[in-house]
Each structure stands twice: as structure tokens, then as C-alpha cells.
Amino acid sequence: MEKTEVQHQNHLDGTVNILSQDLVEEASRAGLDNHLQRWIEDLKAASNPQLHQLIVDLQELKAHFGSGSYDKDTISKLLARLGKNTSQAAVFADGNTQPRVEKLGEALTAAAKQVQDSDKSTPASDLQADSASSK
């Protein structure tokens, strides 16, 4: 049975939602793995050679999260490349799906930045660490 356009759109919306959460926490749940697998299947079903790098990167990201080790540089690099390539692939989407693919590209790029910046301190976290260490 083929997926309907609405099913694709719901899947895209769900993936954007997961990307806006804490990815390490999400990776510990089955939801992220399932979303990545459905996304891989959707891209393969499209039979578009232009989408091949997306499939490869998604499989690598899925395997990385599945390994239980979270290398921020690897995750950030994959998410950034997925964001860029997903945004470019939006031209292949039709109707109401296209803005969702564009939004997914933006969410992937934002998630890459979030992962990359997650180990950087902020003034608030520095103050909190200072006050905790002075007690």
C-alpha cells in the first residue's frame, strides 16, 4: 500500500518536532530511530538519484544514534549536511509537502547548531557553575 501525501506530511511534521527536542534524549527512545527509518524508506521509494546522499547520511546518523555513543562533531556534521541537502531537495516536493520539507531542512540545520553549541558555556551557565563551586 502506498503512503498518501497526508501520511508523508505527518511524518515530516513529526520529524521536525523530534528535531526541536533534546536529540540525545530522543535517541534513547524508539521514536527517533523509527522516524529516521521511515524517512529513509520514503526517500528510497522516491527513486530519485538526487536524494542518494540524504539516504546515506540518514543511515549513518541512524547507525550512530543506535550505537549509543554520541560524537557531537559527527552528529553535527551529519545534521548540517542533511539540513543543506534537504533544503535543496524541497524542489522535488509537491503542494503542501514542499513547505514541510523546507521546514525540515531548517530544523536539521538548527539541530546541527544546537548540537555543536551544546558544549559551549553561556554566561548563565558560567554563573551557575561558579555559584555551585563556591558552596
Q: How many CB atoms lie within 10 A of CB 63?
A: 10
**Of 10, 23, 3, whose CA–CA distance to 82 is shortest?**
23
Helix (H) or strand (E) holding 87: helix 72-89
Residue 4 reports pLDDT greater than 80: no
Give me the chain's average pLDDT, please.
82
Query: Which pLDDT does position 123 carry in this prediction?
Result: 53
pLDDT value, residue 132: 52
- Write down the pLDDT at residue 2: 54
Write the DSSP assignment of 4-15 as a string of letters.
PHHHHHHHHHHH
Instruction: Residue 35: name the closest of 43, 5, 78 by CA.
Output: 43
User: Is the pLDDT reported for residue 40 higher than 50?
Assistant: yes
pLDDT in tens, 15-34: 788 888 777 677 766 677 88
- Three-state DSSP at 76 gives helix
- pLDDT-based confidence at residue 52 (cuts at 50, 70, 90): very high
Between 132 and 12, where is the model more confident?
12
C-alpha cell, 49: 538519484
Nearest CA among 69, 91, 73, 70 for reference residue 81 = 73
Q: How wide is the angle at C-alpha 37 spanned by C-alphas 34 and 40, nearest 5°?
A: 150
Higher local confidence (pLDDT), 79 or 66: 79
Query: Of 2-11, 53-62, 123-132, which one has max mean pLDDT?
Result: 53-62
Residue 83 pLDDT: 95
Q: What is the pLDDT of residue 1?
A: 45
The whole-angstrom separation of Cα 13 and Cα 16 is 5
What average pLDDT score do residues 80-93 get?
93
